[in-house]
Amino acid sequence: MSWWQLARLGLVQAALGAVVVLLTTTINRVIIVELALPAMVPGILVALHFGVQLVLRPRLGHSSDRSGRRTPWILGGLLVCALGGVGVAASIPVMAEHTLLGVALASLASIVLGAGVSASGTPLLALISERARPEQRAGAAAITWILMIVGIIITAATSGALLDPFSFTRLILIAAGIGGVGLLVGVLATLGVERGSALAGSTVPRAEQSESFVASLKVVWQEPAARIFAGFIFLAMFAYSAQDLILEPFAGIAFGMTPGESTKLSGMHHGGVLAGMIVTALLATRSGQLRHWAAAGCLASAVTYVALTVSPAIGDPGYFRVTVALLGLANGVFAIGAIGSMMSLTGDRTDGRAGLRLGVFGAAQAIAYATGTMTGAAGVDVARSLMSSPVQGYLVVFSVQAVLFAASAVLALRSASSERANDVFRTRSEMLPAALQS
């Protein structure tokens, strides 16, 4: 697959991000501010969107393996995702009049949204993993996620400009427009990419192609490398997502930063993530295993969290800002190493289970992100209630994140070692029958 084709497929990820971001930003704010409902309501909607992926990502990934084509799943999932996004927006005016009914409809629409992400995102990554050359995987991971971030930024800016003056009708029309444009982008991005050819998985025996979901899942889960790597994804993403709701409040409490200053701080973190992604994509194509880069990013993240825990004692806002930027850089290294490793662990197999493997990893990522975000915020509240200073509650959570990232680095290295052992075992197993025959 050419770099141009990989970039086109990255646009599909951008379309998915554009549809989902409306729930996590604009609709989140409307529920809390305009409708004056508890923050728990959008929290439940986001949790449902992630939670359904725990079940559907592996199953739909397996279904795309058996179908022999990824494109119909990618486009069908985008359509379902768009319908879910419109459904969430359409439930807001109902929520304003009848809260419980509106929340119920929004919950159902969030489940549909998560189902669409599962149906489209998992086969998309499987297609990229199968078609990208080994030396392209770090770059493919960077292109895919950078384009997703770009899509989120463009969507947020465009929808923000179109929403004023605000009305529920405008919100629904914007959601429909984003979904329609996203689906069109998906159609153009996937046009001719598979070129009517069968997937790599179609070369496996028919008995394996017709294998049930449960049987295939058992085969994948029996692989030590896949099992350890799924644990790595869960632990690392849990640690990563735990900072989402606490970094900006910590800046205000510990350093007295204004809302504008803390928002800029968040921008510095995301800028560091992008820089880390780009640098890792460039360097990983020349040296080192991707899982080693993932481990390095986790270790660097652990060190920066330790640096955050001592920032109040130092009391220098400049030191704090630099630390946050370095945290973003380390997170970017981890992200590309982890995503590229997922592609390698999947693309190097020819047993027709690429979608299922990525579904398992995607499920671990989704549930980790959902629980990590909520646990980080709840952990701060619990720690603050037990500590004499509110700042200490944040420091406890940062310390736990440092430990989790360090443990994640160990799992990443163990996964790489298990994979090498599996490769040696398979090679010897394949050589033995030939040697006996000769």
pLDDT tens column, 137-171? 888 888 888 888 888 778 877 877 788 788 899 99
Average pLDDT of the chain is: 83
What's the pLDDT at 68?
77
The Cα–Cα gap between 213 and 363 comes to 15
3-state secondary structure of 16: helix
Cα torsion for 396, 397, 401, 407, to the nearest 10°?
60
Evaluate the CA torsion angle 228, 231, 235, 241 in order and state its sign. positive
Domains along the sequence of the chain with CATH: 1-192 (1.20.1250.20), 212-438 (1.20.1250.20)
H-run or E-run covering 181:
helix 168-190
The three-point CA angle 408-136-183 to 5° equals 90
Task: Mark out the alpha helices in 191-316 (DSSP H runs).
Answer: 206-209, 213-221, 224-241, 247-255, 259-284, 290-309, 311-314
Nearest to 144 by CA among 158, 126, 160: 126
Locate 325 and state its tokens.
Answer: 């930027």
The Cα–Cα gap between 343 and 366 comes to 17
The Cα–Cα gap between 211 and 215 comes to 6
The Cα–Cα gap between 230 and 258 comes to 39
What's the pLDDT at 180?
94
E-only strand ranges, 104-152: none
What's the pLDDT at 320?
93
First-to-final CA distance of the chain: 38
What's the pLDDT at 435?
43
CB atoms near residue 314 (< 10 Å): 12
The Cα–Cα gap between 192 and 213 comes to 29
Locate 297 and state its tokens.
Answer: 């990013």
Locate 116 and state its tokens.
Answer: 């669409």
For the whole model, what pTM was predicted?
0.76
Q: What is the mean pLDDT of each run of 10 residues along the chain (438 residues)?
A: 87 90 79 80 84 89 86 94 94 94 95 94 88 83 84 77 85 93 93 63 46 83 86 91 78 81 77 88 76 92 95 92 93 90 76 83 86 77 77 88 94 73 43 43
What's the pLDDT at 172?
93
Residues 164-194: tens digit of each pLDDT? 788 899 999 999 999 999 999 999 999 888 8
What's the pLDDT at 419?
57
Contact 106, 171 (CB under 8 A): no
Q: Which residues contact 367 (CB under 8 A, 6 or more apart)?
A: 50, 51, 53, 54, 234
The DSSP output letter for 197 is: P
What's the pLDDT at 436?
40
